[in-house]
Chain A
Amino acid sequence: MCLAVPGVIKEIRGNIAVVDYGGVVKEADISLLESVDVGDYVIVHVGYAITKLSEDEARQSIAAWKEALERLARF
């Protein structure tokens, strides 16, 4: 029920964004988000974008984990 799907914003028209979920394109309401731009990744639940996905955060957490895994593997 709380299934939510990440996609990338292709186009914005007022409160509605056209979101591409890896090939499947569907409209989503973006009024719950402060600011979004074309090219942003968002997570969409029941037709509403609920949060932006941060690629920086993703990169940082993967990097931090690689480091932690290396440290722990030597442990």
Chain B
Amino acid sequence: MLAFKDFRSRELAKRALGVIEKLAAEESYTFMHVCGTHEQAITRHGLRSLLPANIKLIAGPGCPVCVTPASEVDAAVALAEEGKVVLTYGDALRVPGSELSLAQVRAKGCDVRVVYSIREAVKLAQAEPEKEMVFFSIGLDTTAPSVAAEIARGLPENLSILNALRLTVPVMELLLGLGDLRFEGYLAPGHVSAIIGAKAYEVIPQAYGMPVVISGFEPLDLLLSVAMLIKQVKEGSAKVENEYSRAVSYEGNLRAQELVNKVFEVATTQWRGIGRVPFSGLKLREEYAEWDARRRYALKESRGVDIRPGCSCHLVIIGKLSPQECRMFGSVCTPAKPYGPCMVSQEGTCNVAYRYSQQVV
């Protein structure tokens, strides 16, 4: 384990910072990450204040809780109100729907339970076969294989899936297409990459000329990745580099990819604050449609109120506004009483910024 500990070495981090300062010289650089766990690591370790002022790290759409649209929460709320047992991750409980969150319907007496994984949902459904249960499956590429594995194994008859899985690379592409965002490189998410592999990002340098470095989550990982991005920009190159090679391969986890492809197909889906993104979501294939809660309970797609009046989450999600620039931040909107989706999850940009009280952008 010694080699892993080096990624927290103060001495190496100091040296890396010196090198970054030298490399960056007088130029300004802005890099975007798209991962809630990166945001936590960057903020908790105070990397923004350690880095020279001319290097900015901004947070993009990396928190699945923040980008789950109200219409999907509304569907879960409706199922709970109809008497189904709704099972989901703790993070998903307080995400605002158009009117209510799952936590609020639970307070009204509906049966909403927190599970740590889909495995637990399967066990609960087996233990109480007389109850109809629905697993509200939010998450990104990292989470999809666990859901696919359980569905491929066969779920208990009284369990179905309200699927809300999304893919990271299509939304990274979409942001580049917006044109008015200014950043020079992407820090790609380490755990998403463990599944999809470095190969999945090739389109970004190839089609958009944007450098990509896959980064781990220790302070040194992030500093080294920043140095790698600066180096690419300075050299005028754009390629996919893998700083997190101890966990991420070029091909990724092929077994996990196969399972995801077997159970799901790619579909256009809605992201809160962003809109409909082509090929950015996962939908159960026809062979597995019997496990689809939307089909089983003939759920109608609601329009949903994604961004409530006065909320700036749609701008925070794409890195155009820092949490502190929102007039609701810290007054109307706090982790104890979140108004917008970015304040809800422990990995939401506003939630992280509030808890660590630091400039995020």
A contacts, CB < 8 Å to B: 1-4, 6, 8, 29, 31-34, 41, 43, 45-48, 50-55, 57-62, 65-66, 69, 72-73, 75
Determine if A43 and B139 form an interchain contact, defined as CB atoms under 8 angstroms apart. Answer: no
- Residues on A with beta carbons closer than 8 Å to the beta carbon of B107: none
Taking the complex as formed, is B361 at the interface, i.e. its CB lies under 8 A from any CB of chain A? Answer: no
- Chain A interface helix/strand/loop/mixed: mixed
Do A61 and B12 form a contact, CB below 8 Å, given A4-B142, A50-B253, A55-B4?
Answer: no
Q: How many A-B residue pairs have CB under 8 A?
A: 132
| Cα distance, A60 to B244, chains bound together (Å) | 11
Determine if B37 and A3 form an interchain contact, defined as CB atoms under 8 angstroms apart. Answer: yes
Taking the complex as formed, is B246 at the interface, i.e. its CB lies under 8 A from any CB of chain A? Answer: yes
| Cα distance, A69 to B63, chains bound together (Å) | 33
Q: Size of chain B's interface in residues, with CB distance under 8 A?
A: 52
| Cα distance, A55 to B3, chains bound together (Å) | 6
| Cα distance, A6 to B23, chains bound together (Å) | 32
Determine if A48 and B4 form an interchain contact, defined as CB atoms under 8 angstroms apart. Answer: no
- Chain B interface helix/strand/loop/mixed: helix
- Residues on A with beta carbons closer than 8 Å to the beta carbon of B345: 1
Among candidates A43, A61, A75, residue contacting B243 with C-beta atoms closer than 8 Å? A61
Chain-A contact segment, one of B114-122, B176-184, B295-303: B114-122
Do A46 and B194 form a contact, CB below 8 Å, given A1-B64, A53-B246, A54-B246?
Answer: no
Among candidates A41, A45, A75, residue contacting B143 with C-beta atoms closer than 8 Å? A45
Among candidates A33, A58, A75, residue contacting B4 with C-beta atoms closer than 8 Å? A58
Do A2 and B189 form a contact, CB below 8 Å, given A32-B149, A32-B253, A47-B146?
Answer: yes
- Residues on B with beta carbons closer than 8 Å to the beta carbon of A3: 36-37, 191, 347
Determine if A1 and B145 form an interchain contact, defined as CB atoms under 8 angstroms apart. Answer: no
- Residues on A with beta carbons closer than 8 Å to the beta carbon of B247: 43, 51-54
- Residues on A with beta carbons closer than 8 Å to the beta carbon of B7: 58, 62
- Residues on B with beta carbons closer than 8 Å to the beta carbon of A51: 194-195, 247-248, 253
Known: A29-B146, A69-B19. 4 other contacts (CB 8 A): A2-B37, A8-B1, A46-B139, A65-B220
For A52, give the chain B residue with the smallest CB separation.
Answer: B247
Indicate with 1 or 0, residue by residue over B1-21, a CB within 8 angstroms of chain A CB atoms. 101101100001001101100
Do A1 and B23 form a contact, CB below 8 Å, given A45-B143, A61-B243?
Answer: no
- Residues on A with beta carbons closer than 8 Å to the beta carbon of B89: 1, 46
